[in-house]
A and B are shown apart, each in its own frame.
Chain A
Amino acid sequence: MFHFVDQIVELDPGRNALGIKRVMSGDTFVRPNAGGETTLLSCIIGEALGQLGAWSVMVAQDFAVRPVAGVVGEVAITGEAAVGDSILLDTTIDSVTDDAVFYHAAASVDGATVLRLENALGPLLPMEQFNDPKELRERFARIRNSGVSTVETQTGEGTAAPFDLSFDEILSFEGCKEATAVRTLSGSEAFLRDHFPRKPVLPLSLLLESLLQLGQKLLEDGGSRYVPTRARKVKMSRFVEPGSSLVAKVQVTERSADNALMKFRCEVEGERVCVGEAEYSTVVGENR
């Protein structure tokens, strides 16, 4: 399952939406953090916010368009969501044109913000190329009313093998400086079934998560533990389809005792598919 909005509790289509994502122990995208607590991957919280924005626009445009990931000006990671938590998703559409949606969003747990998206832009593409609109309407009806049951969420997520975030091969690795790695999308990855049924492509959220983790490994080669706190100017310029080999290059541009900056660039057959920057902080305390 690659649907992360369990329930839409308030909706002003094309403007504001409030939704809920419950974090379950059987979720594919949960991981133990440094403190031993099982938490949802940050980029999946971002994905959930993007998906809520997508529902808002799709409903407003009667399921004629499919918003996809394009640019995120800033992802601010300010906390975590652990198993048992309900994440409140709050997405605001700033504007919609014929070809794109512009929005910002925040996710919170018990009133504390855990992740924010700023200046996000999603191209609007013809729905028919990505999904059967009928299926999406049905799903929307379920999550708009009572929400998907915990059973459905848990069975759906729990039966899938955990998503492997690592690259297939590290091509080069120079600690605290730069690394290149490759991952080939086989086509059998579980997330491709929903993203998207008619056009399976690598989700930006999963790509970003694996890039952030690769950067973390690079930085940790220096002995300190760094965690990602921010990603900026993240842009997906092309779809990565099954059979494509994605070559990622991450490069540490600044590193001090407290924080570090990284740039990344991904290509398929020499063409740019994704670029961006990330910021890390050294860990204070056990939990992060």
Chain B
Amino acid sequence: MNTDTIYPKVREIIADVLAFDEEEIQRDGSLVDDYSAESIDFLDLVYQLEREFKIKIPRGMIEQEARRGLSDEDFAEHGRLTDKGLEHLKEYLSEVPEDRFTPKMQVSLIPTLFTPETFCKIVLREMEGGGQAESD
């Protein structure tokens, strides 16, 4: 199974949660910048994905997995990503177009990078038996 298999359902849920038509959702669009997702929408989205795919998505999972192997201080300083942190994040969110990452970006802005594909990857990972941390 790959993310193509689950994308249609994920797109349907994203469109539903963000009150858009399915056709308007682009696989690499930014949920925050292009579809005005708010924090309540992310809660709603994760809940709907968990129900649909019968999985559990641990909260804060993306940030935790992106910093894998880095201490808190190596990942971010004063709430902003270090160069190393940025590299780890880029690698982890490989589906996000390169130009959306900015040096020393605020950790609190990481969710602005999330795309529909990001959630496909998360769902797939959980369906295949949990996050990278556990499967290592």
Contact = CB atoms under 8 A, between A and B. Distances in A.
Interface string B30-53: 000000101111011001000000
A238 interface: yes
Contact of A100 (B19, B38, B43): B43
A122 to B, nearest CB: 9
A121 B44 contact: yes
Nearest to B51: A119
A236 B43 CA distance: 12
Contacts of B19: 233, 265, 272, 275
A123 B39 contact: yes
A93 to B, nearest CB: 14
Contact of B40 (A71, A98, A102, A265): A71
How many interface residues does chain A have, given as a range?
A: 10 to 19
B16 interface: yes
A99 interface: yes
Contacts of B100: none
B44 A71 contact: yes
Contact of B44 (A97, A235, A238, A265): A235
A287 interface: no
A46 interface: no
A254 to B, nearest CB: 16
Given A98-B59, A123-B40, A123-B43, 4 more contacts: A70-B40, A100-B43, A119-B47, A123-B39
15 contacts: A71-B44, A100-B47, A119-B47, A121-B43, A121-B47, A123-B40, A123-B43, A233-B16, A235-B40, A235-B41, A235-B44, A237-B40, A265-B19, A272-B36, A272-B38
Interface of A: 70-71, 97-100, 102, 119, 121, 123, 233, 235-238, 265, 272, 275
Which 4 interchain pairs have the tightest Cβ spacing?
A237-B38, A237-B40, A71-B44, A275-B19
